[in-house]
Amino acid sequence: MSPEEMLKSFPDQLQWEKTDIDRSLYRTITFCGMGGSGIVGDIAKSWLEHRGCNVVAISHRGYGLPNYVNGEEHLVICTSYSGNTEETISNFETAMKRDATVICISSGGKLEELAKKSGVLHLKVPSGFAPRYALGYMLSKILTLLGVEKDELEDAKENLKTSYEEIKKKGEEIANKLNGYIPIIYATPLTEACAFRWKTQINENSKTQAYFATLPEMHHNEVVGLDNAEIRSKCAFIVMFDLKDHERVRRRVDITIRLLKDLGIVPVAIGGDGNSYLARLLYLIHVGDWASYYLAGKYGFEPLPVKVIDWIKEELLKL
């Protein structure tokens, strides 16, 4: 399947299933995963928090687990598209040792084997994709586990489908603006997961550096870096927001745009379009996915290969 076909399949990857768990049984939820599989935890965490869920949720990247994850009242969701990512396997093994409640998501690999051997719930996603292009499959497994309503997921999916041309067009326009510059994405707490996804999609698909910072924290440091005219002239700026951002954050978004304009920079200001927070998140993510795809073309790169990531994984297997 071509990267374009994989991208196009994103809305249809969103499939609701009746697999919800009783969240009241857990004191914490730890989403584990790296890269294209790790981002699903960030999105799920944002979605849970926006719903007002009172369970502590964290997105954990790296080996082991925080010490407080100890006992069955702690839910650990291990997501690895390939099922072979060593950090995620390490999370699984630690969670099992600590008697946490574990759920695994993968298209196969070691994680599936280990889950089955240990009698742990394993949710399988279709194989044949690059992990970052299978976001919809992995995310809908997690959201349905967490109790997303069928209507909410269907509405977000429909929103992507009806806005398909508009999303692609925005992606292409943004790619034109980013071409030749280092993308710097300024986000709000509600759009931070989107900014991270944009950054990583630009890294992996377009093969270029990209960075992000989040309000309000960036008003206490990042903005001072804008004083450097030489460096800022090498950057293209994106400001993203959500209509449900805290009112003081919205005020800060306006101030940030004004600050950039006063420096002669016209940032791309973008919010997601949709009826629900989830619909807007997925809309914004999909604009970034297309932008990174078009940007790859402008730089003459194939979006799919991530040779250096593969090389590092092979090197680690030797040790």
What are the residue numbers of the active site?
Answer: 204, 220, 313
Is residue 91 a contact point for ligand F6R (CB under 6 A)?
Answer: no
Phi and psi for 193 in degrees, rounded to 5? -65, -35
Which three-class secondary structure state does DSSP give residue 302?
coil
Is residue 6 a contact point for ligand F6R (CB under 6 A)?
Answer: no
Part of the chain binding ligand F6R (CB under 6 A), chosen from 40-48, 77-85, 208-216, 256-264: 77-85
Is residue 309 a contact point for ligand F6R (CB under 6 A)?
Answer: yes
Using CB under 6 A, which residues numbered 153 to 212 contact ligand F6R? 204
Q: Closer to ligand F6R by CB, 13 or 80: give it.
A: 80
Q: How many residues bind ligand F6R (CB under 6 A)?
A: 15
> What residue type is assigned to position 187 of the chain?
A
Please name which of 210, 207, 181, 236 lies closest in space to residue 296, comparing C-alpha atoms. 207
Report the alpha-carbon distance of residue 297 to residue 81 in Å, rounded: 26
Is residue 81 a contact point for ligand F6R (CB under 6 A)?
Answer: yes
Q: Closer to ligand F6R by CB, 107 or 188: give it.
A: 107
What does the buried/exposed string (b/e) look like for 152-173 if buried means 16 or more CB atoms within 10 Å of the residue's CB? bbebbbebbeebeeebbebbbe
Using CB under 6 A, which residues numbered 19 to 38 contact ligand F6R? 34-37
Q: How far is the CB of 226 from ligand F6R (least distance, A)?
A: 30
Q: Closer to ligand F6R by CB, 281 or 306: give it.
A: 306
Which three-class secondary structure state does DSSP give residue 60?
strand
DSSP letters spanning 170-222:
HHHHHHHHHTTSEEEEEE-GGGHHHHHHHHHHHHHHH-S--EEEETTGGGGTG
Binding site for ligand F6R (CB under 6 A): 34-37, 80-82, 85, 88, 130-132, 204, 306, 309
